[in-house]
Structure 1
Amino acid sequence: MKPTLLILAAGMASRYGSMKQVDGFGPNNETIIDYSIYDAVRAGFGKVSFIIREEFLDSFKSIFEPKLKGVVETDYIFQTFDLEKYGIDKIIERQKPWGTGNAVLEASNNVKEPFCVINADDFYGYDAFKKMADFLTTDVREDNYCLIGYEVDKTLSEYGAVSRGICLVNEEGNLQEINERTKVYAKDGQIVYEEESGNITPLHEDARASMNFWGFTPAVFEQANPMFKRFVEANEANPKSEFFIPLIAEELVKTGKANFKVIPTSAKWFGVTYKEDKPIVQKSIAALIANGTYPSKLW
């Protein structure tokens, strides 16, 4: 059974100013998602499931269906504000959905095979998809999940400090915890993070960053459902609270219900947060086309 690629694309892209998920970055207006799907299909994935807001459906279908027909199976899953399906008999007014962990739970009726989760607006590289596909076809179990760990220097921006989830990994290569470092940058040949106090601490040269690239079996839906219910009950008065995937991982690790293998990759990550990032991403993709990593026309 081939694994499924679950693409998180329900965010409103408030900082970017438009729907960056379907913005063009390649020479033929390819989106970042196109490159992720191209790499995933080459790596052995059999289906692509888009997690979107229902109002995005026509836009997504018009962009991706003509390209992907006959290439890979696709389906569309809506992230909504409906809490009844989780056994929560309340209507809670919010501007944004409940976060990436909730987005994963929304796929419970559609995804029946091992799957991975990625962000729509992040470029992950073929090496990461190949390693994920291999794990999902040989090693994944309901108590043995994974995430791709990026070399921190391969995730930095030349335009200032970035926020990164830095993985603490044990001797077996499993995740112990993820520490959110809000100001990570290169300084004097080292990668450092700066605390609110102004204290600057070097990161270990082997430190790995999580870029929200996770591997699961469908057992995670049942495992995470009660966590989400508790989260909603604790945060119903906080409209900006979000139930993130690392919260699921953290609880599974701490309760001993699952390990998360941190799979190292040397791939270069790049992403789009602000409009100013667009030319950098376009330049990076052009370089990968020039060196033969990708064809000039993907589909």
Structure 2
Amino acid sequence: MGTTLLVLAAGMGSRYGGLKQLESLGPEGKTLLDYSIDDAIRAGFDSIVFVIRESFAEDFEQKISRHYRSYIDIQYAFQALDDLPNKRRCPAERCKPWGTAQALWSARKQINQSFAVINADDFYGRTAFEEMQSFCRSIPEDTHNALRAGLANYRLVNTLSKNGSVNRGVCTLDANLELKVIEEYTEIERQASGFIEGTNPQGERKRLADDTAVSMNFWAFSPNIFGAIEAYFEQFLEQYSEDLKAECYLPNAIDSLIQSDRLICQTFITDSQWLGITYPEDSLLVRQRLRSITEKADYFQAKR
């Protein structure tokens, strides 16, 4: 069996504005997603599934997919507001997608082998893809009692923005790097004192070490995860279906499965430099770093 890369590309950048997934940031009009696709192909992934909104499928095909169909199998899964468990009805007033947990669940019909998950608008680094591909092939099989999963953790200091605060999934790991808790910290930024601080889910400001392990949504799963996500999503809808802005987040779903002993998540910590855009001002630094990365590595030598 091979390994699929699942790319979550249906969301819109709420703070940055516009369709970040299709913005040209690298040399010759390359997007952050172009780099991830190139890294995935070189790492040995044999297929890609893009989760997108059906309304921009044509633009996505022209901008991204058509350039890579000669190198890797590509499919689409559409994240739709009315794609809900047990034929639930979506509130007519709902406009916002249901979140990253539903985005993953949207690909349940396209994936039948081990797969990794990334965001479309993040740069993860070639080394991280190589590590994840190796990791996917070595994840123990699911057992009757628990699913098995993997996560690439980044050092917090490698994921900050110089232009404002960021939100990150802060990970608590045991001595064997097994994920025990993942919590969403908000308003993370370096203070004038030199220390990094963030607000935990309880609303408390906490100091965070530079090498704190954080998730950038680079996961590994078996196809059995879809049933577990569906059950979690259904529970979410029982409580929040009428909240027009509520989102069902993948990290929350995974944390719930861990706390209920239904999932074991092994992690590894990568030293790759993450790149992404939270604020418009971030784009200048990202462009500079992509130019440098492209010059030092053999990106896009056989493509486009």
TM-score by length of 2: 0.91
Letter in 2 for 1:87: N
Distance of aligned partners of 1:237 and 1:138 in 2 relative to their CA distance in 1, 3 Å threshold:
same
Contact 2:156 2:213 in 1 (8 A): yes
How many residues are aligned here? 298
Distance of aligned partners of 1:170 and 1:95 in 2 relative to their CA distance in 1, 3 Å threshold:
same
What is the CA distance between 1:56 and its match in structure 2?
Answer: 0.9
Contact 2:197 2:208 in 1 (8 A): yes
Contact 1:27 1:297 in 2 (8 A): no
Letter in 1 for 2:2: K
Q: Which of the residues 190, 194, 197 maps onto 1:186? A: 190
Match of 2:160 in 1: 156
Segment of structure 1 superposing worse, 131-140 or 234-243: 131-140
Distance of aligned partners of 1:181 and 1:290 in 2 relative to their CA distance in 1, 3 Å threshold:
same
Distance of aligned partners of 1:38 and 1:68 in 2 relative to their CA distance in 1, 3 Å threshold:
same
Alpha-carbon distance in structure 1 between the residues aligned to 2:90 and 2:248: 17
Match of 2:286 in 1: 281
SS of the equivalent of 1:18 reads coil
Distance of aligned partners of 1:44 and 1:293 in 2 relative to their CA distance in 1, 3 Å threshold:
same
SS of the equivalent of 1:231 reads helix
SS of the equivalent of 2:281 reads helix
Alpha-carbon distance in structure 1 between the residues aligned to 2:65 and 2:88: 36
Match of 2:88 in 1: 89
What is the CA distance between 1:83 and its match in structure 2?
Answer: 4.0
Consecutive unaligned residues in structure 1, runs of 5 or more: none
CA offsets 1:250-286 (integer angstroms, 9 cap, x no match): 1211111111112100000011223222222111101
1:214-233 to 2 correspondence within 5 Å? 214-233=219-238
CA offsets 1:167-206 (integer angstroms, 9 cap, x no match): 0111221111112221222244433325699975332454
CA offsets 1:93-134 (integer angstroms, 9 cap, x no match): 311111000011111111001111111111100111111111
Structure 1 residue 170 corresponds to structure 2 residue 174: yes
Structure 1 residue 262 corresponds to structure 2 residue 284: no
Match of 1:212 in 2: 217
Alpha-carbon distance in structure 1 between the residues aligned to 2:127 and 2:267: 14
Letter in 2 for 1:96: K
Segment of structure 1 superposing worse, 234-243 or 271-280: 271-280
Letter in 2 for 1:104: L
Letter in 2 for 1:210: S
Segment of structure 1 superposing worse, 186-195 or 132-141: 186-195
What is the CA distance between 1:53 and its match in structure 2?
Answer: 0.4
Alpha-carbon distance in structure 2 between the residues aligned to 1:197 and 1:115: 33
Match of 2:34 in 1: 34
Distance of aligned partners of 1:162 and 1:110 in 2 relative to their CA distance in 1, 3 Å threshold:
same
Alpha-carbon distance in structure 2 between the residues aligned to 1:126 and 1:107: 24
RMSD across aligned C-alpha pairs, in angstroms?
Answer: 2.1
What is the CA distance between 1:7 and its match in structure 2?
Answer: 0.7
Distance of aligned partners of 1:246 and 1:107 in 2 relative to their CA distance in 1, 3 Å threshold:
same
1:88-127 to 2 correspondence within 5 Å? 88-93=87-92, 94-127=94-127
Letter in 2 for 1:222: G
TM-score by length of 1: 0.93
Alpha-carbon distance in structure 2 between the residues aligned to 1:233 and 1:106: 19
Alpha-carbon distance in structure 1 between the residues aligned to 2:15 and 2:205: 27
Contact 1:177 1:250 in 2 (8 A): yes
Letter in 2 for 1:216: F
Segment of structure 1 superposing worse, 190-199 or 250-259: 190-199
Alpha-carbon distance in structure 1 between the residues aligned to 2:202 and 2:81: 38
Match of 2:71 in 1: 71
Alpha-carbon distance in structure 2 between the residues aligned to 1:195 and 1:134: 33
